[in-house]
C-alpha cells in the first residue's frame, strides 16, 4: 500500500504513487525535496495563477514608477479579485497600464496610498467593460439575436408597423420645442 501524501495546493490526502510529484534540490544544502499535487493540471493551473500574480504586481510597480512593497497594494488587488478573475485583472491592467500611468502622472498625487487607490479605482472602472468586450470577442458568452432569423419581408413589415404607430416625427418634436407647433 502506497503512503499518503498531502497535495500542496488543496491539502487533500492522496496516494504517493498516483500523485504528481515535483523534485527540487536545494542549492545551499544539496537536499532533495518533493512536492506532491493531485494532478499535473492542478499544478500547471497553480503555476499559471502564480505567474499572473507576479505580473500584476510588476504592472502596478511599472505604473507607479518604482517597486512598491505596501500591503495596501496586495489588499486592493485582492479586493478586485473578489469580483473578477486574476486573468481578467491581468488582461485589463496590461491593456490600460500606459494610459493609467499617464493620467496618474498628471494628477500630482504624492502619497503612495493615493497613487495605489487611483490605480485600483481606474482598474475597477475599466475591468467590467473590458471583461465584457473580451468575452464577446472570444465568443464564449455570445448568443445570436432573435432578429437575425427574420426574413427581409418580416423586417420591412415590422419597420412599417413601427412607423405607422409612431405618433410624432422628429420634425414634429423639433417644431414643438421651438414653439412652431402651428406651422
pTM for this predicted structure:
0.65
For the chain, the distance separating the N- and C-terminal CA atoms, rounded to the nearest angstrom, is 97
Average pLDDT estimate for 89-111: 91
Predicted confidence band of residue 143 (pLDDT cuts 50, 70, 90): very low
pLDDT at 148: 45
Chain centroid offset of residue 90 CA:
6
pLDDT of residue 109: 87
Cα separations (Å) of 31 from 17, 24, 111, 182? 21, 8, 45, 96
Mean pLDDT of 140-167: 51
Q: What is the pLDDT of residue 62?
A: 93
Amino acid at each position: 500500500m502506497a503512503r499518503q501524501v498531502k497535495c500542496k495546493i488543496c491539502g487533500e490526502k492522496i496516494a504517493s504513487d498516483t500523485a504528481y510529484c515535483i523534485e527540487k534540490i536545494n542549492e545551499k544544502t544539496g537536499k532533495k525535496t518533493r512536492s506532491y499535487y493531485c494532478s499535473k493540471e492542478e499544478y500547471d493551473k497553480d503555476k499559471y495563477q502564480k505567474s499572473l500574480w507576479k505580473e500584476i504586481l510588476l504592472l502596478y510597480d511599472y505604473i507607479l514608477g518604482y517597486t512598491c512593497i505596501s500591503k495596501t497594494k496586495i489588499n486592493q488587488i485582492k479586493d478586485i479579485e473578489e469580483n473578477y478573475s486574476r486573468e481578467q485583472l491581468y488582461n485589463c491592467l496590461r491593456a490600460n497600464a500606459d494610459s493609467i500611468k499617464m493620467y496618474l502622472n498628471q494628477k500630482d498625487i504624492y502619497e503612495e496610498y493615493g497613487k495605489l487607490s487611483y490605480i485600483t479605482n481606474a482598474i475597477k472602472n475599466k475591468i467590467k467593460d473590458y471583461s465584457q468586450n473580451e468575452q464577446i470577442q472570444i465568443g464564449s458568452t455570445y448568443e445570436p439575436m432573435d432578429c437575425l432569423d427574420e426574413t427581409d419581408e418580416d423586417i420591412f413589415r415590422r419597420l412599417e408597423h413601427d412607423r405607422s404607430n409612431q405618433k410624432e416625427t422628429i420634425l414634429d418634436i423639433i417644431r414643438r420645442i421651438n414653439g412652431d407647433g402651428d406651422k
